[in-house]
Amino acid sequence: METIELIYKRLPDRVNHFPQNLLYEDDDVIVTTQHIKPSSPIVIDGVTVLGDNYRAVWFVFANRWYDIGKIYNLEDQFTGYYCDIILPMKRTETHFEITDLFLDLWVSPDGSYQVEDEDEFESAITHNWIQTDLANQARNALQGLIAEIESGAFPPEITNRW
């Protein structure tokens, strides 16, 4: 399987390089897959929906302020979507780059959702890692994503292929 490198930036100065298995790409989206190691699991109603070594199929869009991870547990059962609020992707022929803006959204298969990492976002603002204009754009991106969920427009059609 072909690989592509993800350069993942986290303000103020963290940069990680992750090889990703490339599933698909066109001018609008890059689709990759990997096993993940989250900083902490997400548990909803006593069930771990995102944990160590879970599989994610990532959809990173060219002009959107978020990406979508379609998450599968260790038994390969779909558990939901993990969405990062990010700067729109930058890409070259050999890699793509995203900058995480701290806010995240978990979307369960039934369409319910919860915002994640608001404390990290507020801390980033307090430490001036995110300026006011960028913080407002991140909040607007989160609200736009929530509006897509509530209107039934989420997830994008392309996520049904994987």
User: Of all helices (H) and strands (E), which one includes residue 151?
Assistant: helix 132-151
Res 39: pLDDT: 84
Amino acid at position 162, single letter: W
The rounded percent of the chain whose pLDDT value lies above 70 is 100
Q: Are 28 and 120 in contact (CB under 8 A)?
A: no
pLDDT digits (tens, 9 = 90+) for 99-134: 999 999 999 999 999 999 999 999 999 999 999 999
Is the entire prediction scored with pTM above 0.85? yes
Q: Token digits for 32?
A: 């990759």
Per domain, the residue ranges of the chain are: 3-161
Mean pLDDT of the region 47-67: 96
The CATH class that applies to domain 3-161 reads mainly beta
